[in-house]
Amino acid sequence: AVAAVVVGATTSFFSDTETSTGNTFTAGAIDLTIDSHATFNGADVPDATWALKDLEPTADKFFNFADVKPGDVGENTISLHVENNDAWACVSIIPTKNDDVSSTEPELEVAGETQNTDSIYDGELAQNMQFTIWADVASTSDAIPGDNKYESQKGDRLLAQGAGPIVPTTYALATPAGNVFTGLVNDPIDGTQTNYLGVEWSLPIATGNIVQTDTYQADVSFYVEQSRNNAGFVCPNVAPTNPHSLRLE
């Protein structure tokens, strides 16, 4: 009887159990996708126009024109969409060729021009082409973001203007120092929004024969990096290691 009482006592203590199951950490993600709408002398360019996607570096080209002449103009509206997370962003233009290729008789007749084919950087096309690059953010009643027109008076913000670069050049789109799309400091690209970049190019009428047969070629690389916990971000000076890139020819 005594043994039975002892056993009964050992099973009557107060108790409680709280359980949390399935505790999980899942890493976030950043996926930059880009679309393009291109025109040449006012006409759409289907080969340089596509919907949001990951770029195929050797296949997707914003510009690919084989017969550019003085007076020609073109425009490309590029949109950047960083899915899931806010990010800092940069774009790098890395020239790979500014080649004289050959010298036609009219080109040789230009004052001071001589046959010069010993380098792929001996041409004059890059220096004579004119580019305007802007954040296409116009938002007044008669202008909308990504409308393919540079309208500074309506809110578009100039990023660069002048001759085509002949050395690698990096532009900050959104860094802790400022966001070209919003005009704000410490403002990254919003992971839920699309941002539009306009690029207009022209070969002025006054260029003349000096650029005949020349080829200007460059790679364009967009780079994004998480903004959270990254207040010291600065754009790389050269092309990022694994960018979304395409060829300009």
- The percentage of the chain sitting over the pLDDT mark of 70, rounded to a whole number, equals 88
- 100 pLDDT band, cuts 50/70/90, is confident
Q: Give the Cα separation of 123 and 213 in Å (integer).
A: 9
* Both tokens assigned to 153: 């008076």
Question: Which amino acid is present at 161?
Answer: Q
> What average pLDDT is seen over the chain?
88
- Which phi and psi angles does 85 have, rounded to 5°? -140, 145
Q: Give the Cα separation of 34 and 223 in Å (integer).
A: 11
∠ at Cα 96 (207, 34), nearest 5°?
A: 95
- 28 pLDDT band, cuts 50/70/90, is confident
Q: Give the Cα separation of 119 and 193 in Å (integer).
A: 44
- The pTM score is 0.85
| Residue 112, pLDDT above cutoff 70 | no
User: Which of 217, 216, 210, 215 is CA-nearest to residue 70?
Assistant: 210
- Which phi and psi angles does 201 have, rounded to 5°? -130, 155
Q: Is 193 helix (H, G, I), strand (E, B) or coil?
A: coil
User: Which of 75, 117, 111, 79 is CA-nearest to residue 98?
Assistant: 117
Burial of 54 (0-12, 13-18, 19+ CB in 10 A): exposed
Q: DSSP letters along 24-67, please? A: -------EEEEEEEEEETTEE-GGG-EEEE---TTT--SB--S-
| Residue 13, pLDDT above cutoff 60 | yes
